[in-house]
Chains A and B, each alone.
Chain A
Amino acid sequence: MGHMQSLSRRAFVIGSAAVAGGIAFGAYGSAEAAAPSADDNPLAAGLGPNSVTFNPWVEISPDKITLIAQHADIGQGVGSVQPIMIAEEMDLDPGQFGIRFAGPSPAYFNTGFADEFAPFVAADQSPAAEEARAKTLEWLRQAGLQMTGGSSTLPDTYDKLRVAGAVARETLKAAAAKRSGVAVADLRTQSGHVILPNGTKIAYVALAAEASKIPPVLDAQPRDPSKWRMLGKPMMRLDVRSKVMGELKFGIDQRTEGMMYASVKLNPNKGQPLKSYDAGKARSMPGVKKILEIKNGVAVIATNSWYAMKAVEAIACEWAPSAYPAEQADHWKVLESSFKPEFLGKEWRKIGDIEAGLKTGKLVEAEYRAPYVAHQPLEPLNGIGLVTDKGMEIWVGHQSPRFVQYVAATAIGLKPEQVTFHNQWSGGSFGHRLEYENVRVLAEIANQMKGTPIKLVFSREEDFLQDIPRQIAIARHRGSVDKSKIVAADLQLASTTPLKGLLERSGTPSKDPDGQLAAGLWNVYYDIPNFRATSYEAQGLSPSTTWRSVGASTSGFFTESFIDELIHAAGLDPMKARIAMCTVPHYRKVLETVAEMSDWKGPLGNGRGRGVAFVESFGTPTAEVVEVTATDRGIRIDKVWVAADVGKVVDPVNFENQVQGGVVWGLGHAINCELTYAKGAVQQTNYNHHEAMRIYQCPVIEVRGLENDPKVRGVGEPPVPPAAPALANAIFAATGKRIREMPFNKFIDFV
C-alpha cells in the first residue's frame, strides 16, 4: 500500500500562501481551529500501491498521472483549464494525464466565493474590504463549501492549482535527486519526466513510490506567467475533440450493468406533495415493470427511457395545490405590494442626501420588470442511482457534491457519508445543476428498487415544470438631473430571493438579506452625489434560484436602463457620460475600450441605433455596445462589442467563446423568454414556448479581454447582465421607444 505524505492540507495551504501573495490562507491560527476534515487530502484513502498524492489535486501511480478537476464542468471549460493549470507547472503535456472530477470533500472548499460573499463592492480594495474577505474565506474553509458557481473557478483555483502543480514538480525533482545523487538545482523537468544533466530521463510515474517517502517541497514557486507554455495562449480545450467526435459521455449517456430506466411525473405546484393517482392505463403499457409512488409524484420503472416517459405521462395524478399564488397576475401583485418596510431586505448603500438630491433639478421615475425565466440546459435532468444496504451510489452532473450527499441522504434516511457521488460531464447548467429535483427523486426511486441501478431521465416537459426559475423582480427607480449632471439615483427593487432559496434547499438556510439582490444594484461606479440602493424581499411567491449571473441578470437591466434614462434626460451622450462619470480608473478603461472597438461617435440615424451598458458582476467589469436596425420586419441586432477585465485571460479561445455565449444568453432570454404560472404550474413546457436565441438572430460579437484588474476574475456570467440593457438602450436610440420589461417581444417585434 502506498502512503500519503505526512503532509497535512494545512501545511500545504500555508505553503501556498507564502508564494500566492494576497491570499489569506494560513493567517488563521492553530490546527484546532479548523474542522479536521478540511485539512485532509481526500485522495489519500483511495491511493494504490507505490503511488503518491501531494495534495487534493495530483495523484501519481506507477502507471498513470491523474489530475483532479475540483469544479464541475457544465460547458464552461473548467474540465480543461483546471488540469492545464496544474500541467503547466508540472511540465506535463496534454495526453500525459487523466482527468477526474473531485469527489465530495471539504478540502475542495471554494476560496473564490470570498469576494462575492463579503459585503463590499468588488472595486473596493481597502484594508477593511480585504479584511472582511479574509474572514469570509475562513468561514468558507470552516464550512467546507464545495460548489461550482458565481464565475469563481479561476478566482478559486488560479493560485492554488499552479502551486499544487509546482509542489508536485519540485517533490518529483527531489525524489529524482535522491535516486541519482544529482543536486536538485541541476535537474529540470519536461514532458512528464525529470531530466538529469547527462540527458537521462526519469518518468514521473517511475518516481511515484520514491516521492511518497520524502517530505514534499512546500515552498515550491509557481512560474512567472512570462514562462508559460500553454496558459494565456490560444490552446485547445481538452474536451473539444471528444465532444466533436461524439465520444464524450455525458451523465445521460452512462449505463451500468443490470440497469433499469425511470421517468417521473411530479407535482407542478413546486414543493407540494402528491394526493392520489390512477396508474391503471400505465401498468399495461409496453416495457413497464413497476409504478412507484414518491413524495411529490409518481415514477415508472421500464426497460427503456421512452417506455418510462410514455407510461408516466399516462398516469392521472391529483396534486396538492400550490403554496404560492396559482396565477401569474397575482405574483406581480405580491411584488407590487412588497415595497414596504416589513419586506425590507437591506439598504445596501447610501451616499449623500437622497431626498434632497431627488428634489434638485428634473425628477425621472421609471418602473422595470423582469419575469421568471427557466434554465433548461439541453441535457435534461438525469442520473443513475443504486441503493444497497451499505448506502447509495449516485452518478449525476452537479455543481455541489457535498450537498448532493446531504440531499440524497436526507431523502432516504441515510447519513451523507453513506452517499458516494460520481460527478459527470454536464450538457449545460446555467444554474439548473445547483438544484436537486433529480437527486432527491432518484434517491427515493433507487431506495424503493434496492439492489437495481436506476437510470432516471426527466422528459423535457417535466424538466420545464420542475425548473426552479430565475427570480422575478420589479424595480422602482427615481433619479434627478440638473445642469447636465445626474444629481441623484434612488434604486429600489422587490424580488424573490435566489441565493437564499438555494441555500435553504441545500440544507444551509440563511437569515441574512439575499446578497444577490444587491448585485447590479449597489455596485454602481458612477459619480452620483446622492445615491441609495435598497432591496425588498417578496414573500410567498415561487421558489427561485440562481440563473446565469443571478441577481445582476435582472438588476443590471434595471440599473443600466435607468442610468441611460437619466443620461438622456441630462442631454448627454450615453457613452461619453458613462466614461466621464466612472470613478474606477480601470473600469473606465473597459468603457473606453468598448467605445474604441465600436468606434462610438454618437447617434447613427436612419433607423439604426446603438446602446451601451456597463455592469460589474462577480468582480468582472463588462461593457457592451449593441447595434440594431429598425426594419419593417422588426428590430434586427447587427453587431455587439464586448470588453471585460478579468485581470488575467488564462484560456483565450475559451474566454472568447464564453463571452460570446454569455451575450447570446443575455440577449436571447431578454427578447423572448418568460415563465408564467397558471393553476400553480408553469405554462411553458418546451423550447417552442421558451426559445431564446437561435442562430438566425445571432449577431457578430467582437470580444476583447483586458488584464488591468488586480485580481483574477471569472467570465462565465459577467457578459450576461449588460446584454439586455445595451439592447434596450439601442432600441431606444433607434426608435425612441423605451422598453422597461423583459421579455422585449411583448412590446416590439424582432426580425
Chain B
Amino acid sequence: MIELTVNGIKRQVDVVPEMPLLWVLRDELGITSPKYGCGVAQCGACTVQIDGMAVRSCQSHIGEVAGKSVVTLEGLDKKEQHPVLQAWIEHQVPQCGYCQTGQIMQAISLLDLISNPTDDEINQVMSGNLCRCGTYPRIRAAIHAAAAKKMAEK
C-alpha cells in the first residue's frame, strides 16, 4: 500500500511504485481533471501540484509521491472564486477543453512565481503545454486578466 494525500484527503493505493501518478489519479482514484495526452511530458495536460509545485503527473512515479500532498484542479482552494479559473471563463478560453485543466494548473504556478508576467514570460513558462485547438491567444489574455485580478485582491 502506498499512502499519499490528494486534495487534502489521505488515500491508499495498491499499485506498483513505478506507476505514474497520472494513472493512479485517473484510474485508481477516479480524479479525471489531469488528462493523459502524451505520457512523455510533451503536452502538459496532466499537470498537478505536488507539495505546491506544478509537475507533470505522467512523469511522477507513485512510489516517489508517497507521503506527499497532491493537489489537482478539483482540489484548488476557493475554486469557484479562483482568479485564474474566473479569467479562463470570462475569456472563454476552451475549445475542446482537454488541455485546459493542465494549462490552468501551469498558469497558477506561473502567477505564483511571477505576479505580472510579460508575454515573453508567459511564452517561456507555458510552452510546455500543448493546445491542439490553438487557444493560445486566449490563454495569454486570460493570464494577464488573472494577474490583474490577483493584484486587485491584494
Query: Which A residues have a C-beta under 8 Å from some C-beta of B?
Result: 74-77, 236-237, 239-241, 243-246, 248-250, 252-253, 255, 261, 286-287, 304-307, 376-380, 426-428, 430, 457, 459-461, 653-654, 657-658, 660-665, 668, 686-688, 691-696, 698, 700-701
The secondary structure that dominates the B interface is loop
Q: Which residues of B contact A249 (CB under 8 A)?
A: 32
The residue of chain B having its C-beta at the shortest distance from the C-beta of A703 within the complex is B137
Max chain B C-beta neighbours (<10 A), residue from A243, A286, A287, A696 = A243
CA separation between A618 and B112, bound complex, in Å? 45
CB pair B93–A379 under 8 Å, yes or no, is: no
With an 8 A cutoff between CB atoms, is B96 at the interface? yes
Interface size on B, residues (CB 8 A): 55
Question: Is B130 an interface residue, CB under 8 A from the partner?
Answer: yes
Beyond the given A237-B94, A378-B43, please list 18 additional residue pairs across the A-B interface where CB-CB is below 8 A.
Answer: A75-B98, A77-B95, A244-B100, A252-B36, A305-B23, A380-B37, A428-B95, A428-B132, A657-B95, A660-B135, A661-B134, A686-B39, A687-B37, A687-B42, A688-B40, A693-B136, A694-B130, A695-B127
In the complex, what distance in Å separates the CA atom of A653 from the CA atom of B126?
23
Q: Is the CB of A664 within 8 A of B97?
A: no
Known: A239-B94, A378-B37. A660 touches B27 (CB 8 A): no
Assess A695 versus B39: contact at CB under 8 Å? Given A378-B96, A661-B135.
Answer: no
Q: Is B16 an interface residue (CB 8 A)?
A: yes
In the assembled complex, B12 has its CB within 8 A of some CB on chain A: no
Verify A660–B92 contact, CB threshold 8 A: no
CB of B42 within 8 A of CB of A688, answer yes
Residues of B within 8 A of A376 (CB): 132
Query: Could you tell me the distance between the alpha carbons of A243 and B131 in the complex, rounded to whole angstroms?
Result: 14
Pair B127/A428 contact, Cβ less than 8 Å = no
B88 to chain A: closest CB distance in Å? Answer: 5
Query: In the complex, how many angstroms separate the beta carbon of B105 from the nearest chain A beta carbon?
Result: 9
Q: What CA separation (Å) do A378 and B79 show in the bound complex?
A: 25
B40 touches A686 (CB 8 A): yes
- A77, A246, A653, A660: residue with the most chain B Cβ atoms closer than 10 Å: A246
Neighbouring A residues of B96 by C-beta, 8 Å = 74-75, 377-379, 426-428
* Residue B81 at the chain A interface, CB threshold 8 Å: no
Contact (A244, B35) CB under 8 Å given A255-B30, A700-B137, A701-B137: no
Q: Which of A241, A430, A686, A698 contacts B136 (CB 8 A)?
A: A698
Q: Assuming A377-B132, A701-B137, is B38 touching A306 (CB within 8 A)?
A: no
Contact A657 B92 (CB under 8 A): yes
B121 smallest CB distance to A (angstroms):
11
Among B45, B129, B132, find the residue whose CB has the most chain A CB atoms closer than 10 A: B132
Q: Chain A residues near B134: list those with CB within 8 A.
A: 660-665, 668, 693, 698
User: Which one of B95, B98, B132 lies within 8 Å of A250 (CB-CB)?
Assistant: B98
Q: Does B26 contact A (CB under 8 A)?
A: yes
Residue of B nearest to A694 (CB): B127
Q: Does B98 lie within 8 Å of A244, measured CB to CB?
A: no
A657 pairs with B27, CB closer than 8 A: no
A306 touches B23 (CB 8 A): yes
Is residue B66 contacting chain A, with contact meaning CB distance below 8 A? no
CB distance from A136 to the nearest CB of B (A): 30
CB distance from B92 to the nearest CB of A (A): 5
Query: Is B101 part of the contact surface with A, judged by Cβ < 8 Å?
Result: yes
Contact status A695-B42, CB under 8 Å: no
State A461–B129 Cα separation when bound (angstroms). 18
The reply to whether A695 and B126 contact each other, CB–CB distance below 8 Å, is: yes
Residues of B within 8 A of A661 (CB): 95, 133-135
The CA-CA distance from A459 to B40 in the complex, in Å, is 11
